[in-house]
Every structure is written in C-alpha cells, then in structure tokens.
Amino acid sequence: MVGESRNALADRLLGEALRVERHPLIRFRQGAAGRRQPLVTGTRLSVHQVIATLRESDGDVDEAAAYLGITQRQVRAALDYYADFREEIDADAEGAQRIEAAERDRWERQQRALA
C-alpha cells in the first residue's frame, strides 16, 4: 500500500503468506476500498461474493459452484476461509455494498442530469 512502512509491508505480506499456507486456494488483491481482499484462486471472485452466492443457494455447494462457474473445491475453499475470518469477510461485503450503492447513486444522478 502507498505510504506503508517497510515493517508494516513485511508484516502484511507475512500475514498473507501464513493465510495462504492454511488456505492454498485463496490469494490476495487490492480491493476498491484500498484494502487487500481474499480471492478464490483462478477466479476474479472475492470470498464474500462466493459466500453470498452460497447463502442464496441455501448452502448448496453444487448449486453455488454451477452458478459461479467454479469447482465445488473452490466454493469449499471460500467457505473454509470464511469460517476462519468471518468478521473480516463480512466487513468486506458491507464495504462492497456501500461502494455499489454510491456508484448506483452517482449513475442515477448522471442519468437525471441528461434528462
């Protein structure tokens, strides 16, 4: 992250490496809110997106995997990560909802300006 000290960067990278060691199908990417978010390896899906789809599928891993176009193993990897870091993933989901609402509001204002 910009302005991050060397020690803070080393701590963050070590923390991520330890998480990847425990959750090998999870990687990290800089999110829209500036925080690094866990993604399912081989996809552009964040863990919170997989969990939301799994909830909409009433916990049916097969259905969620089919809907997202990923493997059952990837869905289970997201669920396993979520079980270990639930509060963090829920905060990611809330942040994504706020960004989505702000972007929708901005788009609607633009459309009204054109009318």
pTM above 0.85, yes or no: no
25-45 pLDDT per residue, tens: 999 888 666 678 899 999 999
d(CA 1, CA 8): 9
pLDDT level of residue 7 (50, 70, 90 thresholds): confident
- Within 10 A of 44 (CB to CB), how many other CB atoms are there? 8
52-69 pLDDT per residue, tens: 999 999 999 999 999 999
Residue 21 DSSP SS3? helix
Q: What is the mean pLDDT of residues 12-22?
A: 81
60-106 pLDDT per residue, tens: 999 999 999 999 999 999 999 999 999 999 998 898 888 889 999 99
Beta carbons of 25 and 41 less than 8 angstroms apart = yes
DSSP string, 63-82: HHHHHHTS-HHHHHHHHHHH
